[in-house]
């Protein structure tokens, strides 16, 4: 249980740090300028931190539930395959939806795909290194 809490907190904090680095840098600000007319003028930092921490706990729990069925012979490989799956369902599907419905520059969509892949693989690697399911006696 302690490993789960620690891994969840590390994953949640990593989520927050990577989100900040990915979205607040000058390149991202330029690429995401298309969203400026509808973007909030300020970010609720406390809510953002809370959401990222909740994501950390939920994703760590899902990783543990899927652990035995994930491809890979080591925890790290299982974590990377988990990160790849999360990237597909979280990032790729979102980018495809934006591409289909919004006038977003292709460079912004590509940036989201690439940085999202790095973020999800990093978080998956953390879970793969830190987490193992409890022995079930079988």
What is the arithmetic mean of pLDDT over 76-80? Answer: 97
Q: How far apart are CA 104 and CA 102, in angstroms?
A: 6
pLDDT per residue as tens digits for the range 18-28: 998 999 899 99
> Which residue in 136, 114, 16, 4 sits closest to 59, CA to CA?
4
Judged against a pLDDT cut of 50, whether residue 4 lies above it is answered with yes
When comparing pLDDT for 45 and 135, which is higher? 45
Please tell me the distance from the alpha carbon of residue 57 to that of residue 37, in angstroms, as a whole number: 33
Q: Buried (b) or exposed (e) across 41-71, using 16+ Cβ within 10 A?
A: eeeeeeeeeeebbebbbebbeebbeebeebe
Q: What is the pLDDT of residue 14?
A: 95
Q: What is the pTM of this model?
A: 0.89
Q: pLDDT tens digits for 91-129?
A: 999 999 999 999 999 999 999 999 999 999 999 999 999
Mean pLDDT of 38-66: 93
- Summarize the confidence of residues 31-57 as an average pLDDT: 92
DSSP state of 71: S
Predicted local distance difference test score (pLDDT) of residue 137: 44
Q: How far is residue 73's CA from residue 25's CA, in Å, rounded to a whole number?
A: 36
Structural contact between residues 117 and 91, judged by C-beta atoms closer than 8 angstroms: yes
Angle made by CA atoms 45, 3, 10, in degrees to the nearest 5: 25
112, burial (CB in 10 Å: exposed 0-12, middle 13-18, buried 19+): buried
């Amino acid at each position: 249980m302690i490993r789960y809490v620690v891994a969840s907190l590390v994953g949640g904090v990593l989520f927050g740090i990577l989100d900040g680095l990915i979205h607040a840098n000058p390149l991202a600000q330029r690429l995401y300028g298309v969203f400026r007319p509808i973007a909030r003028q300020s970010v609720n930092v406390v809510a953002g931190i809370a959401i990222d921490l909740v994501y950390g706990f939920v994703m760590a729990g899902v990783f543990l539930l899927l652990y035995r069925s994930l491809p890979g012979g080591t925890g790290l490989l299982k974590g990377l395959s988990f990160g790849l799956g999360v990237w597909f369902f979280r990032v790729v599907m979102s980018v495809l939806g934006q591409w289909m419905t919004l006038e977003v520059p292709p460079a912004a969509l590509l940036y989201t795909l690439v940085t999202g892949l790095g973020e999800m693989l990093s978080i998956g690697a953390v879970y793969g290194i830190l987490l193992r399911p409890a022995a079930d006696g079988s």
